[in-house]
Structure 1
Amino acid sequence: MPQVPAARNALRILTLLSLSDAPLSAARIQRELDLPRSSTYHLLRELEASGFVVHLSNPGTYGLGLAAYRMSAAYTTQQPLVRLAAKDLKAIAVFVGGSTHLSRMAGSEVVYLHEARAPKAVSLVTEVGVRLPALSTASGRIMVAHLPEAEVKAVFSASGEQRAYREGKDRLIAARQRGWDEEREEVSRGQETVAVAVLDHLGRPAAALAATFPAGSRDDDQRAEVVGRLSAAARRVAGKFFGGAGTPVRTHLS
């Protein structure tokens, strides 16, 4: 028996709608799932309010909403990216004697979707599922650097960093031009990170690949080697998933 019947039934409704080639009436949903009439309408209203279901007034049926589409689109994008990058990230983690990550933008934050760690590497805060402000991480900044200016401003606004926009803009332009960004002890004490963006066919940031290792443990040439390996991995992922990185959109920061 499900421990949370309401949650279970909400998922059953979404599953039923996803398997139907046309919107369904509340009566049919109730009948198909053998649910009480009142519970069916309560669940549909809640799903509609959260955007997972849309109510079509004519002919009074329900279909999947935009939130359900976004979730399915996120899965379609995220999981293949992780699979394509995992081998390279593991090899780079061993090379640097630290950790590597794949992350994506989630509003004004980055969410970490994959971590590879070398033997005896320290545990970091950037574990899978963790969200951090994009502007506070190398991964987040290199992705923001490839966004159109209007979206960059939105990230600063949502992060409460409007006053830092001018200074931050210059840093983002520099990061985009050289193709990578870095941070030292901004996220984890005693650690530094370099990150590159994976660009989709439109030149937008689909993800970021990053390597984290003890601060000061590598000289400029060695750090350049790490960046080179990350960049090569990003190009391979983009080539396999998007057919090659696209041309960045013309509305970037300048």
Structure 2
Amino acid sequence: MTDPAPPARPNAVKSADRTVELLEVLSASDRPLTLTELHRRLSYPKSSLYMLVQTLVARGWVEPDPVRGAYGIGVRALLVGTSYLDHDPVVRVATRVMEQVRREVDETVHLARLDGSDVVYLAGRESEQHLRAVSRVGRRLPAHSTSPGKALLAARTPQEVDAILPARLTALTPGTVVDHQALHAQLADVRAAGYAHEREENTPGVGCFAVALPYRSPVLDAMSCSVPLSRLDPEHERRVVDALLHGARTVTELLRRVGH
């Protein structure tokens, strides 16, 4: 198995292509990057890179860090990202149902969307308990390591899963399943059960359950619930799974009713 080739970009405008690549690199970094680091990652001519960065700084897409001489993603990117969520009908419908699920089980609930081989978290409702999983909108994680990712991969054939995932699966914790054969066995169990679950595959001390939202085909969205293992007994697990299954049916019915 080989890694899938990056999608072709026919007739790409070079300046626009470079702008998007630069913003993607900055948004994926957990800290501001210097021009040297950006040059190393992007290989643009230094003069062109400097002018591009300064243009984006002036427009508010990039923010300078004068202390380190580095650059991070700017507030303009946040405004555009928020606009995406504000206009997404799935987010609008799902967040109301997610709040109901959160009240039923008092655990953190997420809405996630498949994007390539990753899932991106679009919305969250946090538990009110002191010990709880933290929700962060915009977070991107490998699909194979997450419960919503497994729920969405299980909605596809094994051949489709192999085409989506890279040949080498990244381990986020010692518990992450990185063997393709073992992952396919997991996904078969998900199909049989009707929901996905994982324990400590992306966050130590946390288990997660998820259900795909089959309002469209192919399925792209899933609702999940994260629970600290310290209170994840069989009775609580049943309550969480039942709440998610009911919530997923509700979201799907509402979206189909309005034509999505």
**TM over 0.5, shorter chain:** yes
Q: Is the 8 A contact 1:145 1:173 kept in 2?
A: yes
Tell me, which stretches of 5 or more residues in structure 1 are unaligned? 1-42, 52-70, 245-254
Amino acid at match of 2:209: V
**Shift in Å, 1:102:** 0.2
**Shift in Å, 1:153:** 0.2
Matched residue of 1:209: which SS? strand
Classify 1:100/1:236 alpha carbon distance in 2 versus 1 (closer, same or farther; 3 Å). Answer: same
Tell me, which stretches of 5 or more residues in structure 2 are unaligned? 1-11, 21-79, 171-177
Alignment partner for residue 166 of structure 1, among 181, 188, 191?
A: 181
Amino acid at match of 1:167: A
Equivalent-residue separation in structure 2 for 1:239 and 1:122 (angstroms): 33
**Shift in Å, 1:200:** 2.7
Partner of 2:44: none
Partner of 1:114: 123
Partner of 2:70: none
Partner of 1:183: 198
Amino acid at match of 2:226: T
Amino acid at match of 2:113: R
Partner of 1:46: 15
Q: Is the 8 A contact 1:156 1:165 kept in 2?
A: no
Matched residue of 1:189: which SS? coil
Query: For the aligned residues, what is the CA RMSD?
Result: 3.4
Alignment partner for residue 208 of structure 2, among 155, 174, 193?
A: 193
**Shift in Å, 1:88:** 2.1
Amino acid at match of 2:235: D
Equivalent-residue separation in structure 1 for 2:124 and 2:93 (angstroms): 13
Equivalent-residue separation in structure 2 for 1:219 and 1:193 (angstroms): 13
Partner of 1:151: 160
Q: Is the 8 A contact 1:96 1:213 kept in 2?
A: no
Partner of 1:226: 240
Partner of 1:209: 223
**Shift in Å, 1:87:** 2.1
**Shift in Å, 1:120:** 3.7
TM-score, scaled to structure 2? 0.60
Alignment partner for residue 92 of structure 1, among 101, 105, 115?
A: 101
**Shift in Å, 1:50:** 8.2
Partner of 1:23: none
Equivalent-residue separation in structure 2 for 1:243 and 1:177 (angstroms): 27
Between the two proteins, the alignment pairs up a number of residues equal to 183
Partner of 2:50: none
Matched residue of 1:152: which SS? helix
CA distances 1:196-231 after superposition (whole Å, capped 9, x unpaired): 1101343x3231101112214143233122111111
**Shift in Å, 1:105:** 0.5
CA distances 1:127-160 after superposition (whole Å, capped 9, x unpaired): 1001011100111111101023332002332554
Classify 1:130/1:189 alpha carbon distance in 2 versus 1 (closer, same or farther; 3 Å). Answer: same
Amino acid at match of 1:188: T
Q: Which has the larger radius of gyration?
A: 1
**Shift in Å, 1:242:** 2.8
Equivalent-residue separation in structure 1 for 2:135 and 2:167 (angstroms): 21
Q: Which runs of 4+ in 1 moved over 6 A?
A: 48-51
Amino acid at match of 1:79: D
The 5-angstrom pairing of residues 117-132 of structure 1 reads 117-122=126-131, 124=133, 126-132=135-141
**Shift in Å, 1:77:** 11
Q: Is the 8 A contact 1:197 1:205 kept in 2?
A: yes
Equivalent-residue separation in structure 2 for 1:222 and 1:105 (angstroms): 27
Q: Is the 8 A contact 1:192 1:214 kept in 2?
A: yes
